[in-house]
Amino acid sequence: MSDIDGRAVAKALREEVGEAAEKLRSEGVTPTLAVVVPTDDEGTAWYVRSIAKTASKVGIDCRIEHLKDPGRGEIVAKLQELSADPAVHGIICQTPLPEGVTLSEVGGYIDPYKDIDGANPHSLGRLAAGLRTWAPATSAAVLELLKREDIELRGTRAVVVGRSTVVGKPAALLLLAESATVTVCHSRTKDLAAVCREADVLVAAVGRAGMIGADFVKRGATVIDVGTNPTEDGGLVGDVDYDAVSPKAGRLTPVPGGVGPVTTMLLLRHTTEAAALTQTHA
């Protein structure tokens, strides 16, 4: 088995995004990403700081909009304000959101032309219809890794474990668009291991540390581990039992160092694409 090196893919993307940002700046456009942070959650704060740091390295301005104990109305108002601001090209809204507020609902207030993390249900609809849009960055990272590693998708059996709006569903739609034969599994799927064993490409997006064991994996399959589960000692593990699965899988993404770094770079690539669109429309 060989690892799929997400950090190497992210490095290649960094070069490309840096060049795109530099071109925009030479044309007088400062690509700008706004990150709405409606929580004091420490993990979220850490993630947002890491996005801002990477953004500054590639020449993208990152505006962090922290909202203290917001209600739904304040979040919606902020998303509307940023959507109307011509200096902002990309908008993302972090989670967790306040009790009773969902990203699918408030995401509807992000201008679709700035919806670089596919939070507006309009974007998911466009994805389903095969129209140009930005898929949520994590699901796009799954495809980016598979494509950059030249993994054949057409005609293959792909199984996605997880059906969330932010990861599982869009990842399934992206795989389908590449002509894979896609099965989506969830907590009610019967005999999950047997379904997963049919996969040439297995995507785990569950949020349960190590639940995908060797008995879930066909020998030689490609396994993409989206899961990020914090450990007691402050580390991070995936949904895949790495030690058990790695001797059996053909290719496997590690956690950390797999999907995560590519996701961040795709948020930034999408921001440059959104900024370039404003040029086309100018």
- Can you say which residues are annotated as belonging to the binding site for NADP(+)? 162-164, 228
Least separation in angstroms between residue 257's CB and ligand NDP is 11
CB atoms within 10 A of CB 32: 22
Asked if residue 168 binds ligand NDP (CB under 6 A), the reply is: yes
Asked if residue 7 binds ligand NDP (CB under 6 A), the reply is: no
Asked if residue 135 binds ligand NDP (CB under 6 A), the reply is: no
Chain residues 230-259 in contact with ligand NDP, contact rule CB under 6 A: 259
Asked if residue 197 binds ligand NDP (CB under 6 A), the reply is: no
Sign of the dihedral defined by the CA atoms of residues 32, 261, 137, 149, in that order: positive
How many residues in the shown chain lie near ligand NDP by CB under 6 A? 25
Out of 187, 194, 220, 243, which residue is the one contacting ligand NDP (CB under 6 A)? 187
Least separation in angstroms between residue 41's CB and ligand NDP is 13
Asked if residue 228 binds ligand NDP (CB under 6 A), the reply is: yes
- Name the residue with the smallest CB distance to ligand NDP: 164
Q: Which stretch binds ligand NDP (CB under 6 A): 55-63, 160-168, 172-180, 274-282?
A: 160-168
Convert residues 198-217 into a mask of x (bound to ligand NDP by CB under 6 A) and - (unbound): -------xxxx---------
Binding positions for ligand NDP, rule: CB under 6 A: 138, 161-164, 166-168, 185-189, 192, 205-208, 226-229, 259-260, 263
